[in-house]
Structure 1
Amino acid sequence: MSVALSVNLNAVAQLRNRRNLPWPSVIGMGRVALNSGAQGITIHPRPDQRHIRFSDVGELLALIDNEFPDRELNIEGYPSDDFVLLCEKHRPKQVTLVPDDPVQTTSDHGWDFRVSYKKLSPIVARLKGGGMRISLFTDPNPEVIKWVTQTGCNRIELYTGPYGATYLDPEQSKEELERLVQTADTAQSRGIDVNAGHDLTIQNLSALLARIPYLAEVSIGHALTADALEYGMAQTVKRFLKVCSGDRIQT
């Protein structure tokens, strides 16, 4: 069974925003990714709009609704009042709640569920009531899953940044992978589906899926966009989809 690939377009939007010009087109690159077989698009509209702009959200949803109705939009973000209202306005298939401070460069840790589950629970219920699937950004630590279950979320997204950072250290990579496996297994045993994302590459994705073949979805942006500079967006998406289906790619 293939794992769903959601293409994160934040890096494409950041490149566009370097100039007051409409290219590269976030919508255009999203269309290429979906035409190439990606099952979804991921975006993280931050308050300062430094990459994804609020106007991109409606345009990407229109792209999916009009041309790819069987695909999904995943909106990531910190659950501020403005973010929750944005999600309720657009009603994406999936919302991933992350504990980011607005000034962070990128997501770099999961929720501290011991102190956050009471805050997250009513927000999760509110968004689920609007028909959205809710995923929570989670560090690789099986001990936190007992708190995750208190939130009522549908899924977790495993933060794979520490795993991705071990690309020069095979032994450390094995240790980080084991933490991810233990956390995923614990979540699945509690009835919570598992996504994964952050610094996943063609190289490390194969090992991850070999150990956690039941992953529901992987969200990949930085490495995929970097590879697209070499192979093109369409070919890059197909390469990642091959890995998601269990094939190995020569690198």
Structure 2
Amino acid sequence: MTSTSPITLITGGSRGLGAQMALALARDGHDIVLTYREAATAADAVVAQIQALGRRALALPLDVADAASFPGFVERVSAGLKAWGASQLDGLINNAGTGAHASFAETTPAQFDSMVAIHLKGPFFLTQALLPLLATGEKTGARVLNISSGLARFSITGYAAYAAMKGAVEVLTRYQAKELATRGIRVNTLAPGAIATDFGGGAVRDNAELNRFVASVTALGRVGEAEDIGGAAAALMRPGAGWITGQRVEASGGMFL
């Protein structure tokens, strides 16, 4: 069977924001390739949910901190596309990541290097490795969405290394948008605010005091949910958003305005 539906690859799609992005895009008619690092069971559950929506889905293991594994990963993606009767990706969302909570004074070189590998080197070289699979064309070029954080705009003690990487990703987005425009590829940043997921140990979700604080500094008066980010990502990947590139879109409910 030949694929005529858009196909989007989402890293870190087994849980949290990545899973909700995958489901939101599936509802918009996308077939999904999602990655996971260790949570194969959770990834399979997301695949089943996508399939229940009538879309195709494939889960592949990937450690975004291991750039040496990217050529082999691209081969597996290509094989998966071929099985669907396709040869190109219409979308790529660089979402996979983990947090690091430590003050600037106490951040270790190992923590910093981990953040670089996961949040900056990973998206940089994974996108580069996937370029041969990304659709091109003035109207049909692929959409790349790099996930940043509200912490690249406002500052909260304990996130210096993590936020520095996200700031770098936002600069990278602009360069990618400039250089890949000749291929018709659009590249944007989506920056979530504080979201009630298991990210960072689930502090925003599970710590009632922190939850109330976040709500108090958010214009819309509540903490964000993963579904809020899934919907925002889907909106930026729709055909009608094709004139948007090189931009940072924050989905934080108006946090710290």
Question: Normalising by structure 2, what TM-score?
Answer: 0.38
Question: Normalising by structure 1, what TM-score?
Answer: 0.38
